Amino acid sequence: MDRKRGGDVILTRRLRDSCNHSCHSGVVQPARKLATYEDLLALPEEERAEVFAGEIITQPSPLPRHNRVTRAVGSFVGRPFDDDHGHGGPGGWWIIPDVDVRLSKHEIVRPDMAGWRRERLAQPWEQRPIDVVPDWVCEVLSPSNAKHDRVRKANLYAASHVAFYWIIDVDERIVEAFQLRDGGWFRLGGWGDGDSVAVPPFDAITLDIGRLFPPE
């Protein structure tokens, strides 16, 4: 049924006419080509893009505060867990920022931070993309990607069997941690300024949450 508004009438008629043409003319419309990593390589090198369900999704460059939080996570988590230079931490991980991870042929993501236990990924340094599912992913929310990270990426990471997922909200100055249990995310907790906590999977150390964020 055509709607009363003129624009909707035109759109509805176009869809109907298109259906009449394709459904009754015997013409089979070609299937949409699903994007792969090769399509990402064809983009300009400075383009920030991922592939979800075969669709290329581009993202704006992050704000400096976003980069500051990512750097802080790399320092306070990466130093004790991914530093082999005698800092006395538990070690055993690779913690890598902003790297392409291929979860499947048509699902390629670039997490703000991703971590692998070294027994699962011995030498990641010459791999692009990395084809091993991370043990931990951390996404830092921006105004343009909050829903994407909380819903679409969260569902994809769960389906791909990422064991731990952190979401950091820069505006609210909150860290939330989730663990995969029975195919879904179990919320381990949320913490903000003034909290010093041991957050899995890096609960061998105590993390001062406030130090992750820019000074107020």
Query: Which residues, 6 or more positions from 80, have their beta carbon under 8 angstroms from its beta carbon?
Result: 87, 88, 89, 90, 91, 202, 204, 205
Cα atoms in the Cβ-side hemisphere of radius 13 Å centred on 144:
8
Specify the higher pLDDT residue, 52 or 19.
52
Q: What is the pLDDT of residue 28?
A: 54
In terms of Cα–Cα distance, which of 179, 180, 172 is closest to 209? 172
How confident is the model over 167-181, as pLDDT tens digits?
A: 999 999 999 999 999
Tell which wins on pLDDT, 92 or 10. 92
> Is 197 strand, coil or helix?
strand
Q: Is the pLDDT of residue 86 over 90?
A: no
Longest dimension (CA), the chain: 72
Mean pLDDT of the residues in the chain: 86
Q: Which DSSP string corresponds to 88-105?
A: -----EEEEES--EEEET
pLDDT at 144: 81
Closest CA relative to residue 184, chosen from 163, 200, 198: 163
What is the pLDDT at residue 31? 66
Q: Is the pLDDT at 192 greater than 80, yes or no?
A: yes
Residue bearing tokens 């027994």: 119
- The mean pLDDT of 39-60, rounded to a whole number, is 92
Give the model's pLDDT for residue 27: 55
